[in-house]
Structures are given as C-alpha cells and as structure tokens.
Amino acid sequence: MRIPRHRTPAHLLLVLIIMLLTIPGCGNASAAPTIPPRETFIIDFEAFASSDTGGLVSVTGPGMELPTSPVTTGAQSHWNHAAFNVGLWRILVAVGLAVPVAAFGASFQNIPLQQPDGSWIWSYSVRIGGSVHSAKLHGQFIEQGVRWDMRISKEGEYEDFLWYYGESDLPATEGFWILKASPTNPSELLRIDWSRNIATGTHAIRYTNTVPDGAENGGYIDAQYTKETPYDNIWDIYNKGQDNHTYIEWSSGTEEGRVKDFNRFGDNDWHCWDSDHMNVDCP
C-alpha cells in the first residue's frame, strides 16, 4: 500500500523560509557585517619608509600643519623630494593616529557578538605604546550598508571615547571614516574616503585634513593602487597652505618613479628616478 505524501502549499513554504531567516541564528540575519579591509583605513607608506623629513615635522599641534620641503640636491633629489612629502603624512598618521590605527588592525583577530538590537560588537584589548586599551567596534546594518563606530577606553584616563566612525556599502567596495583628534581634543581631525574593486584587486584611499579652522583644512593625500604600467601607484598630495600639488607616480615592482611639483621645480614637467632612486631623464 502506498503511503500518501504530505504536500506543503507553496505559500506556506515561503512563510516558513521567511520565519527562519528572521530567527536569530538562522540565515543572513545572524551573519555579522564584514569589516572593510585594512587598505580602507591605512595608506601603505612602506615604499617611502626610509624617507627623512630632516627633523622639521612637528606633530604636537592640533592643526596638522605641513612644513615646506627643504631644497634637496644630489643624485637622488627627485626621489628624496617625493619621499619627503609622503613622509610628512606617514609621521602624522603614525604618531597622531597610533591608537585608532592599532585598534582597527586588531579588530580582524576577534569574533563579534550580536546584540539584542541586531547590531554586532567586536570587543577586545590591544596594547599600544606599552599601555593596554579596550576597544569596541560596533557594526549596525543600515539601508544599503553598514554604520561603524569605534569606542576606545584607557583605564584611569578615558572611557568609551568615540575615536572614529564611518559607513560602508554591503559588499565593502566604498565608504568613509571620520576620525577625531584625541579624547582631550574630540574635534574632527581626518576624513578617509575609500573605494576598491574586488575583481581587479585595485583600490583608492584619500586622507583629508578636516581640522576646524586649521591652516591645512582641505589638504589631502590621495593614493590610487592600480594595475597600470609602468606606474601602478598614482598619488596626489595637496598642500592647502601653499595651494600646491605634489604628484607622484611609481612602480611597486621596480621602484622606478617620477614626481611633478611646481613649487619645487618651477615647472610642470615630470622628474624621474630609476630603481636605485637615482635621478634619470624621463622617457
């Protein structure tokens, strides 16, 4: 004898699926948002890590003012000038943003917990400069994206300081971060705009000075990482106080490159260096 099968009407099956997707622990509702990768927050300065700013940079002031580059001479002067200008931003970020940068980097090694409101929190400790900081990265789904904020505490000094916040789209292909100066100076310091193409492995990131009433407010460093040849790195550094651009293009494979800077060279021509950072005639 055949046992008749029980058939679930299609509309009831659809209702069941919807119910399962809305129960914590089932379907997409239980999946934490993806933290945007490191390159959306940190410009890779390593190619110019050996640059020397000559001790002219002060990062103690709130305005992120950039000094004038010294006149560089010698067989490596073109690369030295490019490295000097990149080095200014490298030092400002390394010193002024050491805590939020380290806290962001540590977030990828931790597991988030879902909150009653459906948001997610990554909670962990990170050692920075010999001191332990507590960090809480909060991710909340919003329409077409994710809202992020990072609160950092240091015992005996400050608690749950909102050091930065931002938004990203759902596939984490574009977004922004807004960073504050410090717990003692909670005004805006920097805006980071970023985008990336996952298929091609390319990305772009821009730091813009947003210090209120600062002399360099509006100045920026824009770094594009491309697959172009012969130069796959295309950077634009805008010094707001001097109303001057330093354009830098270089190869991550050979370290050859070129720089254009009217204030430095008195022309709008490219000035090139080879793989040993020696001055050469541009092709």
In a domain, 4, yes or no: no
Tell me the mean pLDDT in the region 22-45: 76
In a domain, 253, yes or no: yes
Cα 194 to Cα 186: distance, rounded to the nearest angstrom: 23
Are 230 and 210 spatial neighbours (Cβ–Cβ below 8 Å)? no
The confidence score (pLDDT) of residue 96 equals 83
Cα 203 to Cα 226: distance, rounded to the nearest angstrom: 7
Cα 153 to Cα 151: distance, rounded to the nearest angstrom: 7
Q: How many domains does the chain have?
A: 1
- What lies within 8 Å, CB to CB, of 236 at 6+ separation is 220, 221, 222, 245, 246, 247, 248
Tell me the mean pLDDT in the region 122-135: 94
Question: In sequence order, what are the beta bridge partners of 215?
Answer: none
Closest CA relative to residue 188, chosen from 168, 155, 159, 217: 217
Place of tokens 């962990």: 124
Question: In sequence order, what are the beta bridge partners of 141?
Answer: 146
Tell me the mean pLDDT in the region 125-153: 96
Kind of pairing between the strands at 113-114 and 257-260: unpaired
pLDDT at position 255 over 50 = yes
pLDDT at position 107 over 60 = yes
Q: Which phi and psi (to 5°) does residue 12 adopt?
A: -70, -35
Cα 11 to Cα 26: distance, rounded to the nearest angstrom: 20
In a domain, 29, yes or no: no
Does this model's pTM top 0.85? My answer is no
In a domain, 279, yes or no: yes
Are 65 and 220 spatial neighbours (Cβ–Cβ below 8 Å)? no
In a domain, 85, yes or no: yes
Structure tokens at 157: 């000094």
The confidence score (pLDDT) of residue 33 equals 96
Tell me the mean pLDDT in the region 166-193: 97
Confidence of residue 22 (pLDDT cuts 50, 70, 90): very low
Round the average pLDDT of the chain to a whole number and report it.
86
Are 101 and 91 spatial neighbours (Cβ–Cβ below 8 Å)? no
pLDDT at position 68 over 70 = no
Tell me the mean pLDDT in the region 143-152: 97
In a domain, 78, yes or no: yes
Q: Which residue has the higher pLDDT, 59 or 51?
A: 51
Q: pLDDT tens across 75-89, in order?
A: 999 999 999 999 989
Cα 6 to Cα 239: distance, rounded to the nearest angstrom: 73
The confidence score (pLDDT) of residue 95 equals 84
Are 242 and 219 spatial neighbours (Cβ–Cβ below 8 Å)? no
In a domain, 73, yes or no: yes
Domain that holds residue 221: 49-96+199-283
Tell me the mean pLDDT in the region 27-49: 84
Q: Which residue has the higher pLDDT, 206 or 67?
A: 206
Tell me the mean pLDDT in the region 238-244: 95
The confidence score (pLDDT) of residue 72 equals 66
For residue 48, CA distances in Å to 17, 80, 250 come to: 54, 9, 11
Are 180 and 164 spatial neighbours (Cβ–Cβ below 8 Å)? yes
In a domain, 275, yes or no: yes
- What lies within 8 Å, CB to CB, of 73 at 6+ separation is none
Confidence of residue 252 (pLDDT cuts 50, 70, 90): very high
Confidence of residue 182 (pLDDT cuts 50, 70, 90): very high
| Percent of the residues in the chain that have a pLDDT greater than 90, as a whole number | 73
